[in-house]
Amino acid sequence: MRTEPNLVYSAPARVLHWLTAGLLLIQFVLAWTMPDVHRDTKPVGLIAWHLGVGMAILLLVLVRCLWRSTHAVPPEPVTLPLALRALARYTHRALYALLIAVPLIGWANASSRGWPISLFASIPMPPLSPTGSPTGHALGDWHRNFAWVLLALVAMHVSAALFHHFILRDRTLIRMLPSSDKR
């Protein structure tokens, strides 16, 4: 028997999407309010929160990629020109890549500072770079720069979602909303 294609993202895909978005927002607020990091800075207070939330984002995005690679997504609106559909697909891939690269680079930088890294403040994680490593130290700049690129892509992504909803008036945003099952 032929079944109708599912026209909304599955509930787990939507939960993972909005959890990532929420945690990323908190992560940028933490990054911009935590004290400046210097050679003898200790990973406490807001800095410890930045490391903890960042590791949670990394885990969440890995789970999300696993889910995405094993489950189908709803078909794209056919009314959209091919080039725009390709742009959306590449933007999503770039978002996933940066959501993995930015925390990994931050982790390597933290390790080069000799900071212990853990998951949920309880599961110790191995260092990604030796303490005092000049390369690991230089990764601090890369971490900050890639975080800006990630932010720019998110801004583009959110603008596209709003453009779909308010100008093109299609179902692109609706199928990612928490209540989309009822629509």
Q: Out of 8, 50, 127, 136, point to the residue binding ligand HEM (CB under 6 A).
A: 50
Q: Out of 15, 26, 29, 37, point to the residue binding ligand HEM (CB under 6 A).
A: 37
Using CB under 6 A as the binding rule, whether residue 14 contacts ligand HEM is answered as no
Q: How many CB atoms lie within 10 A of CB 145?
A: 12
Rg (CA), the chain: 19
Using CB under 6 A as the binding rule, whether residue 73 contacts ligand HEM is answered as yes
What Cα–Cα distance (Å) separates residue 171 from each residue in 41, 55, 76? Answer: 48, 33, 10
Beta bridge partners of 125: 117
Give 177-181's long-range contacts (Cβ < 8 A, gap of 24+): 177/14, 178/14, 178/18, 180/8, 180/9, 180/14, 181/8, 181/11
Query: Which residue, 2 or 80, is less far from ligand HEM as judged by CB?
Result: 80
Shortest distance (Å) from residue 118 CB to ligand HEM: 9
Shortest distance (Å) from residue 9 CB to ligand HEM: 7
Residue nearest to ligand HEM according to CB distances in the complex: 140
Question: Footprint of ligand HEM on this chain (CB under 6 A)?
Answer: 17, 20-21, 24, 27-28, 31, 36-37, 50-51, 54-55, 57-58, 68, 73, 76, 88, 92, 95-96, 99, 102-103, 106-107, 109-110, 117, 140, 143-144, 147, 150, 154, 157-158, 161-162, 172-173, 176
